[in-house]
Amino acid sequence: MKLVETRGTVAEDGSIILKPGVLETMDMNVGDTVCLTYLADKSAEPFNTYSEVMLTKDGIESIKEPFEPADEPEIVIPHLLLEVAGIPVDGELDIQCVPGMIVISSADPLETVPACLMELFDELNIDHETIRAVLREGGF
């Protein structure tokens, strides 16, 4: 199942205006009952916290297959940039969006520790999870 996106507008009377042909593409006809589903946080009020809506004939319970995301552009990071940052070019990446920046790091911070330093940690019997935790927190 593929997730397809189209845009419309909300009229003054609260109705949703879609481009001609959209309802036919969705296999809906004039007079059909529709279900509007939206994302809300766990608070008592069912407020559309995330500004996302889904319009279906029978609600999300009728969807039997998982969604396949629409074709999204792939993030390409130059190998030279990864090498300079000490991140293995064939490793898994951890990408975080924080206010004002995008932080790209190795998914396993131990991959960035030089082998001689890892040997020292092993000789001192320092647990790898402890090393990971310290690296993720930025040191002591």
Claim: this prediction has a pTM higher than 0.85:
no
Q: Would you say residue 2 lies in a domain?
A: no
**94 and 119 fall within a common domain:** yes
Q: Would you say residue 114 lies in a domain?
A: yes
User: Which structural domain, as residue segments, surrounds residue 105?
Assistant: 79-136
Task: Average the pLDDT over 114-128 and give the result.
Answer: 91
Q: Would you say residue 105 lies in a domain?
A: yes
Q: Is the pLDDT of residue 42 over 80?
A: no
Q: Would you say residue 72 lies in a domain?
A: no
pLDDT value, residue 123? 94
Confidence of residue 125 (pLDDT cuts 50, 70, 90): very high
**13 and 58 fall within a common domain:** yes
Give the residue from 74, 77, 103 showing the smallest Cα distance to 91: 77
Q: Which two three-digit tokens encode residue 80?
A: 């030279």
**44 and 14 fall within a common domain:** yes
Q: Would you say residue 69 lies in a domain?
A: no
Q: What average pLDDT does the chain have?
A: 79
Q: Would you say residue 88 lies in a domain?
A: yes
Is the four-CA dihedral 124, 129, 133, 135 of positive or negative sign? Answer: positive
Q: Count of domains in the chain?
A: 2
Q: Would you say residue 70 lies in a domain?
A: no
Render pLDDT for 67-118 as a digit per residue (tens, 0 to 9): 666 666 677 888 888 888 878 788 778 887 888 888 887 778 787 788 899 9
C-alpha distances (whole Å) from 19 to each of 22, 52, 56, 85 are 6, 19, 16, 48
